Amino acid sequence: IYLFIYFFYRCCCFCICVFAVLLNKACLQVTVEGEVRGSAVLPCSFIDNHLKKEDITVYWRHNSSQNVYDIIEGKGSVERQDSAYKNRAETFPIEYMKGNFSLKLNSLQLNDSGKYVCYITKAHQNPSTQLFVKGM
Ligand SMILES: *[C@@H]1O[C@H](CO)[C@@H](O)[C@H](O)[C@H]1NC(C)=O
Ligand SMILES: *[C@@H]1O[C@H](CO)[C@@H](O)[C@H](O)[C@H]1NC(C)=O
Ligand SMILES: *[C@@H]1O[C@H](CO)[C@@H](O)[C@H](O)[C@H]1NC(C)=O
């Protein structure tokens, strides 16, 4: 039964991918638009009914290197945050247990554009979002 679910999942993902490619989008990647000085919510969800607080470790990274936000064992942490995101990034602790690790970025600047990856240490997939910040 496990194998079946796995196969079904792979097949589904494949179909979604094919469908997404047809729509000119990559699998597991979304696009979000924002405006300079505005804010944007970058989605990141993980579906697991057995999430424990200590399992929740998520790293949000921008352009593959910059530390935007960390969630360590169920607690938001800005200790290692890049100063460029200071007081601008927030997550939603009440949503953590639902597997929702979405990030809100405020006071957007043009160079906030780019790729944001949400590394969920417990999952084998890392959802990413392409953010486009437009000038006003
Ligand atoms: C974007 O540019 C501003 C001004 O040059 C700079 O202060 C800021 O740190 C940059 N943001 C990022 C994410 O590097
Ligand atoms: C996750 O939480 C944010 C902030 O509350 C909300 O905007 C978003 O819709 C939520 N996403 C999901 C998949 O529930
Ligand atoms: C991130 O990458 C995007 C697209 O390549 C670029 O527009 C943006 O300025 C970069 N930002 C930083 C802070 O590296």
In this predicted structure, the answer to whether residue 86 has a pLDDT above a threshold of 70 is yes
- What integer pLDDT is reported at residue 22 of this predicted model? 47
The average confidence (pLDDT) of the chain is 86
* Ligand 2 atom index nearest CA of 100: 1
Q: Mind giving me the DSSP string for 79-122?
A: TT--GGGTTTEEE-HHHHTTTB--EEE-S--GGG-EEEEEEETT
* 86 within some domain: yes
* 17 within some domain: no
Q: For residues 80 and 19, which has the higher predicted lDDT (pLDDT)?
A: 80
Categorize the per-residue pLDDT at 61 as very low, low, confident or very high, splitting at 50, 70 and 90. Answer: very high
* 7 within some domain: no
Q: How far is the CA of 128 from the centre of ligand 1 (A)?
A: 21
* 8 within some domain: no
Number of domains in the chain: 1
Query: Residue 45 forms beta bridges with which residues?
Result: 100
Q: Are the beta carbons of 60 and 129 closer than 8 angstroms?
A: no
Q: Is residue 32 within 6 Å of ligand 2 at its C-beta? A: no
Q: Are the beta carbons of 102 and 85 closer than 8 angstroms?
A: no
* 113 within some domain: yes
Give the CATH number of the domain where residue 69 resides. 2.60.40.10
- What integer pLDDT is reported at residue 23 of this predicted model? 46
Q: How far is the CA of 46 from the centre of ligand 3 (A)?
A: 26
Q: Is residue 132 within 6 Å of ligand 2 at its C-beta? A: no
Handedness of CA 12, 117, 58, 122 (dihedral sign): positive
**Domain hosting residue 39, numbered range:** 29-134
